[in-house]
Amino acid sequence: MKIFLAQQNYHIGNFEDNTKKIICAIEEAKKQGGDIIIFSELCVCGYPPRDFLEFDDFIDKCYAAVDEIKQHADTIAVIIGAPDKNTKPKGKRLFNAAYFLYDRTIKAIAHKTCLPTYDVFDEDRYFEPAYEWNVIEFKGKKLAITICEDIWNLGDNPLYKICPMDELMKQQPDIMINISASPFDYTHDEDRKAVVKATVIKYKLPMFYCNATGSQTEIVFDGASLVFDKYANLCGQLPSFDSALQSFILKDDGTIDGPVIEPASRIPDKELNPLTLEENLNIEKIYAAIVTSIKDYFFKMGFTKAIIGSSGGIDSAVTIALACDALGASNVKAVLMPSQYSTNHSVEDAEKLSNTLGNSYEIIPIKNIYEAFLAELKPLFKDLPFSVAEENIQSRTRGNLLMAIANKFGYILLNTSNKSELATGYGTLYGDMAGGLGVLGDCYKLQVYSLARYINRTEEIIPENIIIKAPSAELRPGQKDIDSLPDYAILDKILFQYIERRLGPKEIKSQGFDAVLVDRILKMVNINEYKRNQFCPIIRISPKAFGVGRRVPIVGKYLG
């Protein structure tokens, strides 16, 4: 049996484009003599559709797309993902479904059982879990079709009461097929591979696993679809962060034609921290995920040009380099906005970066604008000492200039704030926190440095002086980040334990961190939720990013 995996990049609600992609892949698979072609979870409408699912018109368009696609499922069986209406009087009105199309008809529909409600997932809000499980017979084989999370419960996941594959095994299937929309984070690729392999080992059946690729606002899908034979040999893996169509020959004995690929060893959770990412070769995937997300955000929103505030610091330098890779240097404009507190080398470093990358840049000094603000505020401020108020005026002046240029010329402002800054509130609302997309908002400061070294892996693109100099906001004479924040080498480790691992203060202190420092940092994180709540979408590359996947109260008192 010749089985195709169609790993594609979908656009939420763009039924015409999604349907066209699906049909093109079907026609190509038919030309190559395919028996079955498999697409990813909710491919018809794009994942995650969220509250679009509450609109009858949206669901009607899903059904219309399925009807159009099924006309091409004549000599080949097609497995696609789309919502399915619940005809029962009780329960949610929809199922998350896999449609099995053949002979231009809907032969069967499988419903998703395990509906994730953690992190970025909220499927129980929209979908009813499956209440029956049936294999699908095709050309003498029994297919067990599951959807994404369904294979993450092997009977020992406390989140779920039902193990779908256990139910399907009662009907003695020959093949497991899983359609998925499994997001990227820097731990998930190996976790996913381990889960798929464990499923194969448990049930002793071959597995065809098709994942989505591309980015939907903050969530990135890396593809990396998998094929295992019944002996748990990895026989195929599609590329990461790219569309692909690939066929596999499944033999009657459960083996698969093609070379056996040894899976990489899974990285134990206890070893994961911001300092080991580069050693574990995840930095390359983080880079690819961010570039993919920028590219898709602009393309799917109909944008073409980005504008970035260029300070001569590490965050803006890395953001500009990423944007140039994603959009092309000709579509990226950097704006240097020095004040009287800016150092000469910062301007020189920023200019050198743009000259190397080939992106255009402008220099707009803010001294006169800043002093005009102070002159107007003089009757109110009187002779009060210089404070954060004057610092924030500079930052908001820069934000105003960037947004003015963006509005005038149709640019989208990319934000350069990193996760360490966002966690501790080290940023100015409506100033350096302005932007349409947070490029580095899920990267700790040390990860930003790792990205810089990765960018410079073959040649010096980011000037070495940007990488080695002490980070500073340059909002007052001689200012350094360390004046307001702990050293990043310590700060990032503590933040990681609290945000990603959700450890409490006692557990973090027991690891040897200074107790007073831990209390100070955790308080900073919690009292600054009001800032993060007003921040732009952040590209998610970690298991716990700020944004939709981390929901904490703004007015809470916990550890504050």
Query: Pick the residue with more confidence: 329 or 265?
Result: 329
**279 has which bridge partners?**
none
Compute the chain's Rg from CA coordinates.
Answer: 26
pLDDT higher than threshold 60 for residue 277: no
**215 has which bridge partners?**
220
The DSSP-derived string for 86-97 is --SSSS-SEEEE
Helix axes 445-455, 314-327, angle to 10 degrees: 50
Q: What is the mean pLDDT of residues 264-268?
A: 39
pLDDT higher than threshold 90 for residue 265: no
Q: CATH topology for 271-482? A: Rossmann fold (3.40.50)
The DSSP-derived string for 343-409 is -HHHHHHHHHHHHHHT-EEEE---HHHHHHHHHHHHHHHTTPPP-HHHHHHHHHHHHHHHHHHHHHH
Virtual torsion, Cα 346, 351, 353, 356, nearest 10 deg: -160
Q: What is the pLDDT of residues 309-333, one digit of tens each?
A: 999 999 999 999 999 999 999 999 9
Distance of alpha carbon 16 from alpha carbon 46, whole angstroms = 12
Distance of alpha carbon 159 from alpha carbon 140, whole angstroms = 35
Q: What is the mean pLDDT of residues 29-52?
A: 98
Position 560 confidence tier, pLDDT thresholds 50, 70, 90: confident
Q: What is the pLDDT of residues 436-474, one digit of tens each?
A: 999 999 999 999 999 999 999 999 999 999 999 988 877
pLDDT higher than threshold 50 for residue 272: no
Distance of alpha carbon 170 from alpha carbon 455, whole angstroms = 52
pLDDT higher than threshold 90 for residue 246: yes
Tokens standing for residue 41: 């979870």
Q: What is the mean pLDDT of residues 150-156?
A: 87
pLDDT at 270: 40
| CA-angle at 183, arms to 178 and 185, nearest 5° | 130
43, 45, 114, 148: which one is catalytic?
148
Q: What is the pLDDT of residues 365-405, one digit of tens each?
A: 999 999 999 999 999 999 999 999 999 999 999 999 999 99
All CATH 3.40.50.620 domain ranges in the chain, comma separated: 271-482
pLDDT higher than threshold 50 for residue 271: no
The DSSP-derived string for 109-125 is EEE------STT--GGG
pLDDT at 282: 84
Closest CA to 210 of 225, 224, 200: 225
Phi, psi of 375 (to 5 degrees): -65, -40
- The reply to whether 24 belongs to the active site is no
pLDDT at 476: 78
b/e map of 52-70 (b: 16 or more CB within 10 Å)? Answer: bbeeeebbebbeebbebbb
Q: Which residue has the tokens 């590329």?
A: 239
pLDDT at 112: 98
Are 430 and 497 in contact, with CB atoms under 8 Å apart?
no
pLDDT higher than threshold 70 for residue 220: yes
Position 308 confidence tier, pLDDT thresholds 50, 70, 90: very high
Q: What is the average pLDDT value for the chain, to the nearest integer?
A: 94
Please give the C-alpha separations between residue 208 and each of 276, 344, 434, in angstroms, as whole numbers: 32, 57, 43
Tokens standing for residue 397: 């002046």
**237 has which bridge partners?**
226
As a CATH number, domain 2-266 is: 3.60.110.10
Q: Which residue has the tokens 């698979």?
A: 29
The beta strands (E) that lie in 148-188 are given as 175-180
pLDDT at 276: 53
Of 36-40, 274-278, 555-559, which gets the smallest average pLDDT?
A: 274-278
Distance of alpha carbon 145 from alpha carbon 83, whole angstroms = 15
Position 274 confidence tier, pLDDT thresholds 50, 70, 90: low
Q: What is the pLDDT of residues 478-531, one digit of tens each?
A: 777 787 889 999 999 999 999 999 999 999 999 999 999 999 999 999 999 999
pLDDT higher than threshold 70 for residue 262: no
DSSP 1: -
Query: Pick the residue with more confidence: 460 or 159?
Result: 460
Distance of alpha carbon 115 from alpha carbon 130, whole angstroms = 10
Q: What is the pLDDT of residues 99-139, one digit of tens each?
A: 999 999 999 999 999 999 999 999 999 999 999 999 999 99
Residue 197: partners with Cβ closer than 8 Å, 6 or more residues away = 228, 232, 234, 263
61, 70, 112, 352: which one is catalytic?
112
pLDDT at 7: 98
What secondary structure, in 3-state letters, does 177-201 show? EEEECCECCCCHHHHHHHHHHHHHH
Residue 160: partners with Cβ closer than 8 Å, 6 or more residues away = 113, 114, 153
pLDDT at 546: 97
Percent of the chain residues past pLDDT 90, beyond the cut: 87
All CATH 3.60.110.10 domain ranges in the chain, comma separated: 2-266
pLDDT higher than threshold 90 for residue 288: yes
pLDDT at 261: 67
Tokens standing for residue 236: 């195929």
pLDDT higher than threshold 80 for residue 425: yes
pLDDT at 230: 96
Distance of alpha carbon 15 from alpha carbon 67, whole angstroms = 12
- The reply to whether 41 belongs to the active site is yes
Are 413 and 435 in contact, with CB atoms under 8 Å apart?
yes
- The reply to whether 54 belongs to the active site is no
pLDDT at 258: 66
Q: Could you tell me the pTM of the whole model?
A: 0.94
